[in-house]
Chains A and B, each alone.
Chain A
């Protein structure tokens, strides 16, 4: 357990350090990175561990965000209570939809989840009474701690980092538990997993629900921070971006999820000089990563153990290299 805490500490302190030196606009991007990272830790359970290709992750982020927005603006609930209910409702929905959806595999599952995302967009854009249609919902209240609003980029970043740290630690605990191993086993070989006493269907649903919970929390944070939600924020294009982030960062690693979120949030900013050629660059970059660095940025970490002392390097197992930390 020491390594996960160390990694979490490094990420949080890097975030806090950046929060003290960066200008406000970059802090905004950093906040969006943190929100994406929380959503991605979720997607990593479904896609990275259990191998469930989901092109509908943005729909779950949207459900959390819209749930909070509706409960706070229409019902006057406190954001905390709304967050709890919106996240629980999203998890329940993921469980229910997962039951029929997860019978599908590979491309079929990808298409079905894509359909889910498109449906979500259509509902959010057209159920005007509830969602405000394409105008969205504005004036979402800020989160408050002890009566003080978490307002402005810097305080929100600190709060977001705390949430990210908590979720990272929980994710590591699940990763190294029987449930994490079961998810990985299900992706590697479903038949052998069943023959080892694993309930394959339940394991897939658990991974899917877990991914939806993280997505909903990310959505709630997004809603409270931006204080405005619209269908466009949760279109299927965002789901594809989430998958791209996971691949760039390093599929099936928690650290990769966080790195991917940060890099792909800042990349358009760094490459602003490319103008509309950015998309072409992005496509080529994805191609290059898939070909030359299939385990993503986190995959570079496997070169690190060589620098450690021999006693530490010796027991470096494949799980340490390819999955953890």
Chain B
């Protein structure tokens, strides 16, 4: 049963066709990576899935319902979470308050319940000690973890991660992989990952979709995608196949 589905999504920026009839179906509980060279349309696709951009054509379905025109905050409230490519936190709030913004998504929670829920997420992700720190005092990697905590505090069923490893050192990447693996084991979370770090993609993804120049050129298990000639030529240029195979 698919939980999130992009149907024939098309998006044009002026003369540039950013996405051309892209299809993507995510099953509940799945871990899917979306990869592709820079400018392939990965972030555009994520922006359309989350409602930050409207597609020129096509539909977005969540839980079988058409959400193509639904406002972003309503999508989040119905269970779609996301982090951003460069990490977006609220600079004038503390770490805990940042996560409390996410935890306040449930309108019936008291202030104490919001705080407890936020602290539980921070604890789970290993940030409890920094709860009262200012965002500015954290390293870039820790700030991105705060953003992830905020997204998790929204209690998403589907979590979209936009290059979460970008700018992290290798130790932080390992930690992130561990946390994501734990999360998947503990709660039935569907994750869509956009990432350039292939090591991370191969360790986590059950399925990989490849975008190139706004088109989906491959979609399948990692081993199959890795061997796909279309993928190899997209990443390494046309000469690659003849020269090496």
SS class, residues of chain B in contact with chain A: mixed
Query: Considering the chains assembled together, what is the distance between the CA atoms of A156 and B154 in angstroms?
Result: 48
Collect the chain A residues with CB atoms within 8 Å of residue B154's CB.
196-197
Taking a contact as CB atoms under 8 Å apart, the answer to whether A319 and B50 are in contact is no
| Residue in B52, B88, B136, B147 whose CB lies within 8 Å of A318 | B136
- Which residue from chain A places its CB closest to the CB of B104 in the assembled complex? A178
Taking a contact as CB atoms under 8 Å apart, the answer to whether B101 and A181 are in contact is yes
Taking a contact as CB atoms under 8 Å apart, the answer to whether A192 and B102 are in contact is no
Interface centre among A176, A193, A196 (most CB of B within 10 A): A196
Taking a contact as CB atoms under 8 Å apart, the answer to whether B133 and A196 are in contact is no
Collect the chain B residues with CB atoms within 8 Å of residue A323's CB.
92
Taking a contact as CB atoms under 8 Å apart, the answer to whether B132 and A317 are in contact is yes
Query: Considering the chains assembled together, what is the distance between the CA atoms of A185 and B98 in angstroms?
Result: 8
Nearest-CB distance from B135 to chain A (Å)? 7
Taking a contact as CB atoms under 8 Å apart, the answer to whether A196 and B94 are in contact is no
Asked whether any CB of chain B lies closer than 8 Å to the CB of A191, the reply is yes
Asked whether any CB of chain A lies closer than 8 Å to the CB of B111, the reply is yes
What is the size, in residues, of chain B's interface with A at 8 Å between Cβ atoms? 35
Nearest-CB distance from A35 to chain B (Å)? 29
Taking a contact as CB atoms under 8 Å apart, the answer to whether B92 and A184 are in contact is yes
Query: Considering the chains assembled together, what is the distance between the CA atoms of A234 and B129 in angstroms?
Result: 50
| Residue in B71, B84, B93 whose CB lies within 8 Å of A184 | B93
Asked whether any CB of chain B lies closer than 8 Å to the CB of A123, the reply is no
Asked whether any CB of chain B lies closer than 8 Å to the CB of A188, the reply is yes
Asked whether any CB of chain B lies closer than 8 Å to the CB of A147, the reply is no
Query: Considering the chains assembled together, what is the distance between the CA atoms of A324 and B134 in angstroms?
Result: 14
Interface residues as binary, B132-154 with A (CB distance below 8 Å gives 1, 0 otherwise): 11111100000000010011001
Collect the chain A residues with CB atoms within 8 Å of residue B147's CB.
192
The answer to whether A182 and B104 touch (CB under 8 A), given A188-B90, A192-B84, A195-B72, is yes
Asked whether any CB of chain A lies closer than 8 Å to the CB of B73, the reply is yes
- Which residue from chain B places its CB closest to the CB of A252 in the assembled complex? B92
Query: Considering the chains assembled together, what is the distance between the CA atoms of A75 and B73 in angstroms?
Result: 45
Taking a contact as CB atoms under 8 Å apart, the answer to whether B101 and A185 are in contact is yes
The answer to whether A319 and B101 touch (CB under 8 A), given A196-B76, A197-B77, is no
Taking a contact as CB atoms under 8 Å apart, the answer to whether B93 and A188 are in contact is yes
Query: Considering the chains assembled together, what is the distance between the CA atoms of A188 and B89 in angstroms?
Result: 8
Asked whether any CB of chain B lies closer than 8 Å to the CB of A177, the reply is yes
Taking a contact as CB atoms under 8 Å apart, the answer to whether B93 and A196 are in contact is no
- Which residue from chain A places its CB closest to the CB of B100 in the assembled complex? A181
Query: Considering the chains assembled together, what is the distance between the CA atoms of A189 and B151 in angstroms?
Result: 15
Asked whether any CB of chain A lies closer than 8 Å to the CB of B97, the reply is yes
Taking a contact as CB atoms under 8 Å apart, the answer to whether B73 and A199 are in contact is yes
Taking a contact as CB atoms under 8 Å apart, the answer to whether B89 and A196 are in contact is no
Within 8 A of A (CB), among B63-121: 71-73, 76-77, 81-82, 84, 88-94, 97, 100-102, 104-105, 111, 114
Query: Considering the chains assembled together, what is the distance between the CA atoms of A182 and B71 in angstroms?
Result: 17
Nearest-CB distance from B69 to chain A (Å)? 15
Query: Considering the chains assembled together, what is the distance between the CA atoms of A318 and B137 in angstroms?
Result: 10
Query: Considering the chains assembled together, what is the distance between the CA atoms of A187 and B93 in angstroms?
Result: 11
Asked whether any CB of chain B lies closer than 8 Å to the CB of A169, the reply is no
Interface centre among A187, A198, A322 (most CB of B within 10 A): A198
Query: Considering the chains assembled together, what is the distance between the CA atoms of A189 and B97 in angstroms?
Result: 14
Taking a contact as CB atoms under 8 Å apart, the answer to whether A319 and B72 are in contact is no
Nearest-CB distance from A191 to chain B (Å)? 6
Nearest-CB distance from A104 to chain B (Å)? 19
Interface residues as binary, B41-72 with A (CB distance below 8 Å gives 1, 0 otherwise): 00000000010100000000000000000011
Interface centre among B73, B82, B136, B147 (most CB of A within 10 A): B73
The answer to whether A197 and B102 touch (CB under 8 A), given A318-B136, A319-B97, is yes
Asked whether any CB of chain B lies closer than 8 Å to the CB of A194, the reply is yes
Taking a contact as CB atoms under 8 Å apart, the answer to whether B92 and A187 are in contact is yes
Taking a contact as CB atoms under 8 Å apart, the answer to whether B94 and A185 are in contact is no
Query: Considering the chains assembled together, what is the distance between the CA atoms of A187 and B52 in angstroms?
Result: 17
Taking a contact as CB atoms under 8 Å apart, the answer to whether A195 and B76 are in contact is yes
| Residue in B91, B97, B105, B114 whose CB lies within 8 Å of A197 | B105
Asked whether any CB of chain B lies closer than 8 Å to the CB of A69, the reply is no
Taking a contact as CB atoms under 8 Å apart, the answer to whether A318 and B94 are in contact is yes
Other A-B contacts than A178-B111, A185-B93, A191-B88, 18 sampled, CB-CB below 8 A, are A178-B114, A181-B104, A185-B90, A189-B89, A191-B84, A192-B84, A195-B52, A196-B105, A196-B151, A196-B154, A197-B76, A197-B104, A199-B71, A317-B132, A317-B134, A318-B134, A318-B136, A319-B97
A contact residues vs B (CB 8 Å cutoff): 176-178, 181-182, 184-185, 187-189, 191-200, 252, 315, 317-319, 321-323
